[in-house]
Chain A
Amino acid sequence: MSRFRGWIQAGATLLTNLHLPNFLKGGLYQGTGKTVCVPGLNCYSCPAASGACPIGAFQAVVGSSKFSFSYYITGFLILLGVLLGRFICGFLCPFGWFQELLHKIPTKKLSTKRLKPLTYLKYAVLLVMVFLLPAFLVNDVGMGDPFFCKYLCPQGVLEGAIPLSLANSGIRAALGKLFTWKFSILLSVIALSVLFYRPFCKWLCPLGAFYALFNRVSLFQMKVDKNKCVSCGKCARACKMDVDVTKTPNHTECIRCGMCIRACPTKAVCFRYGFGDGKDKAKAAETLQTNNNNREE
């Protein structure tokens, strides 16, 4: 499956943005499909967006005068987190794919191994900009701003502001200082993505942070067969998310890209989908093998 990852990412981006003719019209899709969230980071102000952005939708509900917490979006994210974990980041997120394409530009590449403490920043972004500020920093009528979307998210400019301002002169005329700030963030993320692998996903993405919390209990897991592993370290060197799959197969930073599977010379690493961690079955198979060996002797 990891061999076709690029195609799956392209397909997921297309499905997330099905209404392509809207790019020419300069308007948004306004159907009921937008009641449902998409799994990846995809702005609902993108003309082609087929669903709602889960992070934007959460802030919209929390920042509304009616609600101070979103059970709908939290439940949706817990469900996806348990079913898929950060497989969504590796295979289904349009902004993750965008950063990967930028990283393919042939220039000198830099390692993020020494910048590991920055990976905790995304949890602060999730807690402060997505949960706390929109819920508690409210105006007189009890409405809060979507702080992450307004001040940090580069996807709104990439998918929303740029195509809409090209097609619609009214929107183009209304862009001001906030757009300049967000456009600089987008340019910084683009520049960093060329040098580093997925910098926004590693350091800033609140959606990745939420799914990361579920990687250990997700049904979609990485599995290492200790009997086949020869400890050559090729998997850890191949991992661009700085994870050693032999030590922590379900690390919070693992996006299930499958680079370790392809790098392993003994096919000791594989994907596994199911309840539990499959150790009982492995143990049973091992016991059976030992018994068979004993009988043969």
Chain B
Amino acid sequence: MSCGKKAAAQIVLLITGITMLCFGVWRGEAATVLSKAIKLCLECVGIG
């Protein structure tokens, strides 16, 4: 991969990552993450 192409790929991926992250927050995924993370995850600890 040439230097220019690599830099372009890096910029495109950074923009993609930021856009996806913002879109996810906008549609309420962050609230789902918080509600799961503050409660004891039964599957994680081996109950269930």
Please give the residue numbers on chain A whose beta carbons come within 8 Å of chain B beta carbons, in ascending order: 28-32, 34-35, 37, 43-45, 49, 51-53, 56-57, 60-61, 64, 66-67, 70-79, 81-83, 145-146, 149-150, 153, 156-157, 160-161, 164-165, 171, 174-176, 178-183, 214, 216-217, 219, 275-280
Interface string of B5-40 (1 = CB under 8 A from A): 011011101101111111111011111111011111
Return the chain B residue nearest A35 by Cβ. Answer: B34
By a beta-carbon cutoff of 8 Å, the part of chain B in contact with chain A is 1, 3-4, 6-7, 9-11, 13-14, 16-25, 27-34, 36-41, 43-48
How far is A164 from B40 in the complex, measured between Cα atoms in Å? 10
A32 and B34 in contact, given A44-B41, A82-B10, A156-B41 (Cβ under 8 angstroms): yes
Nearest first, the 5 closest Cβ-Cβ pairs linking A and B are A72-B24, A75-B20, A179-B46, A75-B21, A156-B44
Question: Please, which residue of chain A has its CB at the minimum distance from the CB of B39?
Answer: A28
Given A56-B36, A57-B37, A71-B24, check contact A146 B43 (CB 8 Å): yes
Given A52-B33, A164-B45, output 10 extra A-B contacts at Cβ < 8 Å.
A29-B38, A44-B37, A56-B37, A71-B21, A79-B14, A79-B17, A160-B44, A165-B45, A182-B46, A219-B10
For chains A and B in complex, what number of residue pairs have CB atoms within 8 angstroms? 173
Q: Shortest Cβ distance from B26 into chain A, in angstroms? A: 9
Q: Which of B29, B32, B45 contacts A45 (CB 8 A)?
A: B45
CA distance A45 to B39 in the complex (A): 8
Shortest CB–CB separation between residue A86 and chain B, in angstroms?
15
Residues of A within 8 A of B14 (CB): 79, 82-83
Cα A126 to Cα B9 in complex, Å, equals: 23
Cross-chain contact A73 with B29 (CB below 8 angstroms): yes
Contact, CB under 8 Å: B7 / A175: no
| Pairwise interchain contact B24-A78, C-beta atoms closer than 8 A | no
Name the CB-closest residue of A to B48. A178
B contact residues around A174 at 8 Å (CB): 47
Q: Residues of B contacting A183 with CB < 8 Å?
A: 46
Give Cα distance in the complex from A279 to B29, angstroms.
Answer: 40
A160 and B33 form a contact (CB under 8 A): no
**Quick one: which of A72, A161, A276 contacts B30, CB cutoff 8 A?**
A72
Pick from B1, B13, B16, B34: contact of A34, CB under 8 Å = B34
